[in-house]
Amino acid sequence: MTATGGPLAGVKVVELAGLGPAPFCAMLLADLGADVVRVDRPGAGGADDLLNRGKRSVQVDLKHERGPQAVLALAQEADVLLEGLRPGVTERLGVGPDQCWELNPRLVYGRMTGWGQEGPLAHTSGHDVGYVSLTGMLHLIGRKGGPPQVPANLLGDFGGGAMYLAVGVLAALLEARVSGRGQVVDAAIVDGTAHLGTMLWGFFGSGGWSTERGTNLLDTGAPYYDVYETSDGGYISVGALEPKFYAELLDKLDLTGKVPDRDDATKWPELRETFAEKFKQRTRQEWTEIFDGSDACVAPVLSMAEAEQHPHMAARETLVRRDGRVQPAPAPRFSRTSNPAPGAIAAPGAHTEEVLRDWGLPQDLLDSGAMHSAPR
């Protein structure tokens, strides 16, 4: 029997509203069934931000004399608190780990920063592109002879940041259920991004990865792991690493026995030129049909506007619609405790009275002006 609500049903999370990776982590926990309450400040925006889906929102005036008390009251009832502010800010606000643990020693306190809680850069400003720059990972992305290519903010903010915060919080939550004690999870984007590159660091250490971009197996150096333009200006990706998949690639391209040995890297420019000329002979859709169902590891490069319509994406409902907006469905999936559908975007302050009631917080926090309620 499948249970609804997700595997984190019953877990209570407080999120101090911020930008980027911490809200994404909180969204992920909500997607998995946690009851996430976002603490917004009066006048905050975010009513159209998909990262706020599936959460409930309360408004707290942290400048009010009882504002910190409102956050601490939430923390007292929670399993997890997430914050993405600069090191030391929550302590100055009166809602740091020690203040929370006085009321709730089991609380897991998740902290999301770019540079980490300590180190020479800990208190300086930054953004994703700067964080990943110091890890060595941005340097390796790009074509031979070209500059590093910025991978939006997927590598740092969300890959090296939010996902590591989520893993750390869940690990600490499991440990707290055994020990009865919470702890700080220091999730730094520089740490997580470097950790994502573990396999490549292994290649580099053994001499199997060059610091020259576009010359390695997985960075467009190998012509059988790259993207090629089609006759209509579209693109096809090729990832035929294994010999049997590469053989099928050549077969579908009608190039069997007509190209140089791929194991001879000196022949890669010639091989790349052959592939480029071949793919330019047909449209992206024609190549998609030719490779459909094959093991050649070839796929059309779809835009965000196109991805929803692909048969596989549609069959799995990887992208869904809510309130007329396309968005990714919750992931991963579970066989027994199925994920809830993507929740509505929480308007700031829309759930203040509801959360006060559900979490058993004193009504006078609202009456005093420390908390505010806004229409849904």
Q: Can you give the pLDDT at residue 296? A: 98
For 140-149, what is the mean pLDDT?
96
Does residue 46 register a pLDDT over 90? no
Does residue 189 register a pLDDT over 80? yes
Q: Are residues 254 and 367 in the same domain?
A: no
Last-in-domain residue among 316, 335, 360: 316
The CA distances from residue 18 to 43, 85, 347, in Å, are 14, 7, 14
With pLDDT > 70 as the criterion, what percentage of the chain qualifies?
98
Q: Are residues 26 and 66 in the same domain?
A: yes
Confidence of residue 4 (pLDDT cuts 50, 70, 90): low
Does residue 376 register a pLDDT over 80? no
Whole-angstrom distance between the N-terminal and C-terminal Cα of the chain? 35
For 112-120, what is the mean pLDDT?
97
Higher pLDDT, 3 or 147: 147
Residue 304 domain flag: yes
Confidence of residue 3 (pLDDT cuts 50, 70, 90): low
Domain that residue 174 falls in: 10-196+346-372
For 174-200, what is the mean pLDDT?
98
Does residue 2 register a pLDDT over 80? no
For 320-327, what is the mean pLDDT?
93
Structure tokens belonging to residue 12 = 């209570």
For 245-273, what is the mean pLDDT?
97
**Total domain count, the chain:** 2
For 316-338, what is the mean pLDDT?
95
Cis peptide before 332 (omega within 30 of 0): yes
Q: Are residues 153 and 82 in the same domain?
A: yes
Q: Are residues 181 and 85 in the same domain?
A: yes
127 is annotated as an active-site residue: yes
The catalytically annotated residue of 35, 79, 128, 157 is 157
Alpha carbon 144 to chain centroid, angstroms: 28
Q: Which residue carries 């999730």 as its tokens?
A: 187
Residue 337 domain flag: no
CATH of the domain at 136: 3.40.50.10540
79 is annotated as an active-site residue: no
Q: Cα dihedral sign for 173, 177, 178, 184?
A: positive
Q: Are residues 75 and 172 in the same domain?
A: yes
As a whole number of angstroms, the distance between CA 115 and CA 121 comes to 6
Q: Can you give the pLDDT at residue 15? A: 98
Residue 46 domain flag: yes
DSSP-assigned letter for residue 20: T
The catalytically annotated residue of 127, 195, 295, 364 is 127
Kindly report the number of other CB atoms within 10 A of residue 232's CB atom: 11
Q: Can you give the pLDDT at residue 43? A: 84
Q: Are residues 186 and 78 in the same domain?
A: yes
Residue 115 domain flag: yes
Phi and psi for 357 in degrees, rounded to 5?
A: -70, -50
Q: Can you give the pLDDT at residue 253? A: 98
Does residue 182 register a pLDDT over 90? yes
DSSP per residue over 346-376, as a string? PPTTTTHHHHHHHTT--THHHHTTSEE----
As a whole number of angstroms, the distance between CA 79 and CA 68 comes to 18
Residue 211 domain flag: no
Residue 90 domain flag: yes
Least confident of 47-56, 194-203, 204-213, 239-248: 47-56
Q: Are residues 169 and 267 in the same domain?
A: no
CATH of the domain at 257: 3.30.1540.10
Residue 35 domain flag: yes
* Residue closest to 150 by CA, chosen among 130, 129, 125, 136: 129
Q: Are residues 126 and 242 in the same domain?
A: no
Q: Are residues 280 and 177 in the same domain?
A: no
Q: How does pLDDT run across 264-308, given as a tens digit for each residue?
A: 999 999 999 999 999 999 999 999 999 999 999 999 999 999 999
As a whole number of angstroms, the distance between CA 259 and CA 36 comes to 56
Q: Are residues 309 and 361 in the same domain?
A: no
Q: Are residues 276 and 368 in the same domain?
A: no
For 237-251, what is the mean pLDDT?
98
Q: Can you give the pLDDT at residue 90? A: 97
Last-in-domain residue among 274, 298, 316: 316
Q: Which residue carries 């897991």 as its tokens?
A: 108
Q: Are residues 352 and 303 in the same domain?
A: no
Does residue 95 register a pLDDT over 90? yes
Last-in-domain residue among 294, 316, 338: 316
Q: Is 371 helix (H, G, I), strand (E, B) or coil?
A: strand
200-211 CB burial, b ≥16 within 10 A, e <16: beeebeeeebee
Residue 183 domain flag: yes
Structure tokens belonging to residue 22 = 């911490």
